Amino acid sequence: MMETKVVFYANEKDMQRGIKKMENNGWAVVSTEAVDRGYSGCKTCCLGILFLPLALLGKKPKMWKVQYQRTKQ
């Protein structure tokens, strides 16, 4: 039986460290994906009130999603 785990990382450097740590614990990487988190509603509104083109700066930073899998122990 297989066990699956999904972990989100704040940046690529953290993702690389996390992958190494998980591989040392017997997990294998199934997939990696950059997840776009869209816009922050409050930040976009506040910047839009000041100056409309600034509203484009309200975007949240992307996260990294990694899916791991291993045989259940």
How do residues 30-68 score in pLDDT, each as one tens digit? 999 998 776 666 766 766 776 766 656 666 778 999 999
The answer on pLDDT for 25 being more than 90 is yes
Burial of 15 (C-beta count, 10 Å sphere; 0-12/13-18/19+): buried
Q: How many domains does the chain contain in total?
A: 1
Stated pTM of the model: 0.71
Range of the domain at 34: 2-71
Q: Where are the alpha helices (DSSP H) in 10-60?
A: 12-24, 41-50
Residue 56, pLDDT score? 62
pLDDT score at 67 = 96
Query: What pLDDT is recorded for position 21?
Result: 96
Average pLDDT over residues 2-16: 93
